[in-house]
């Protein structure tokens, strides 16, 4: 993910806007108003606006602003609410259980959002660079197909060459590996340790094979590489889908607690109107 000048200007605009909120809150403080009320309502409004992205995505038929613009708005509004949040809590962690819970949830939402931005930008490029384009829901099918292909290839090699070398190699090193998604973390960080390990194993067994067997082995090696790419795609796509399992549920939990917080602060420290 690289920064361009447009991003920098947008981010600077957000910083200026947050600074304006800070100065305004200080102006309220200096006149003995409870500035937290103002920053709190701005924060709640910002959070509700951020949540609208999810609503917008669920109603694609609406003639509203395209989702990609919503996403940009969501991103920078998110940064703005982070700034207002820091102003609201006076740059220190709250003491109360409810307020602390809200703050922790906000931090989780914000960090997961930042994480989401990062992977949305970087994982998409990585997926484009490596392997083929795959529909996430069909990855189990492809994995199943690859495993069957590998099983068939081993059976065929025994029949064709009369040797069990490749079949034994497959049984010992690859059969379990083909059964399911593997090396999830390694793929996220693009460590590539597993493929080097497998390639070395292929090279090690290659020297003991005759030409027919070597031909079969190369076909198996191709299946392994495909499976490795498939796992890579699975890891990245799954992460791209499942980070929202933190971001969205915690957001809604945060909103519920925020509403409770609003009721409490206005009931105990000053009426809304």
**For another protein, what does the binding mask look like between residues 145 and 164, x meaning CB under 8 A?**
xx------------------
Is residue 222 near another protein by the rule CB under 8 A? yes
Listed in sequence order, the residues at least 6 apart from 222 whose beta carbon sits closer than 8 Å to its beta carbon are none
Which range in 5-13, 113-121, 184-192, 257-265 contacts another protein by CB under 8 A?
Answer: 257-265
Give me the phi and psi of 179, to 5 degrees please: -70, -30
Question: Cβ of residue 6: shortest distance to another protein, in angstroms?
Answer: 29
Nearer to another protein, 137 or 211 (CB): 137
Question: Cβ of residue 40: shortest distance to another protein, in angstroms?
Answer: 13
* Residues 107-116: contacts with CB under 8 Å, at least 24 apart: 108/246, 108/250, 109/247, 109/250, 109/251, 109/254, 110/78, 110/81, 110/82, 110/85, 112/243, 112/246, 112/247, 112/250, 113/78, 113/247, 115/243, 116/243, 116/244, 116/247
Nearer to another protein, 126 or 266 (CB): 266
Tokens matching residue 115: 């994480």
Tokens matching residue 197: 């390990």
Is residue 250 near another protein by the rule CB under 8 A? yes
Count CB atoms within 10 A of the CB of residue 255.
18
Is residue 110 near another protein by the rule CB under 8 A? no
**Contact residues for another protein (CB under 8 A)?**
23-24, 26-34, 58, 94-99, 132-138, 140-142, 144-146, 218-219, 222, 226, 230, 241-242, 244-245, 248-250, 252-253, 256-257, 260, 262-264, 266-273
């Amino acid at each position: 993910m690289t920064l361009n000048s447009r991003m920098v200007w947008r981010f600077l605009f957000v910083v200026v806007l947050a600074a304006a909120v800070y100065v305004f809150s200080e102006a309220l403080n200096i006149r003995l108003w409870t500035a937290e009320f103002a920053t709190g309502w701005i924060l709640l409004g910002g959070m509700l606006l951020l949540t609208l992205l999810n609503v917008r995505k669920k109603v694609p038929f609406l003639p509203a602003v395209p989702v990609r613009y919503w996403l940009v708005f969501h991103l920078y509004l998110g940064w703005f609410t982070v700034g207002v949040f820091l102003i609201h809590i006076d740059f220190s962690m709250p003491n109360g259980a409810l307020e602390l819970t809200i703050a922790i949830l906000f931090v989780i939402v914000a960090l997961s959002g930042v994480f989401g931005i990062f992977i949305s930008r970087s994982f998409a490029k990585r997926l484009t660079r490596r392997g083929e384009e795959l529909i996430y829901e069909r990855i189990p099918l492809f994995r199943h197909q690859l495993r069957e292909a590998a099983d068939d290839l081993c059976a065929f090699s025994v029949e064709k060459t009369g040797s069990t070398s490749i079949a034994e190699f497959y049984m010992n090193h690859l059969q379990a590996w083909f059964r399911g998604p593997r090396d999830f973390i390694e793929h996220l960080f693009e460590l590539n340790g597993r493929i080097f390990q497998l390639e070395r194993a292929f090279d090690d067994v290659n020297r003991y094979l005759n030409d027919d067997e070597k031909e079969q082995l190369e076909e198996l090696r191709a299946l392994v590489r495909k499976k490795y790419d498939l796992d890579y795609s699975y890891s990245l796509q799954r992460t791209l889908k499942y980070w929202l399992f933190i971001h969205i549920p915690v957001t809604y939990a945060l909103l519920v607690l925020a509403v409770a917080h609003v009721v409490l602060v206005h009931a105990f420290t000053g009426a809304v109107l």
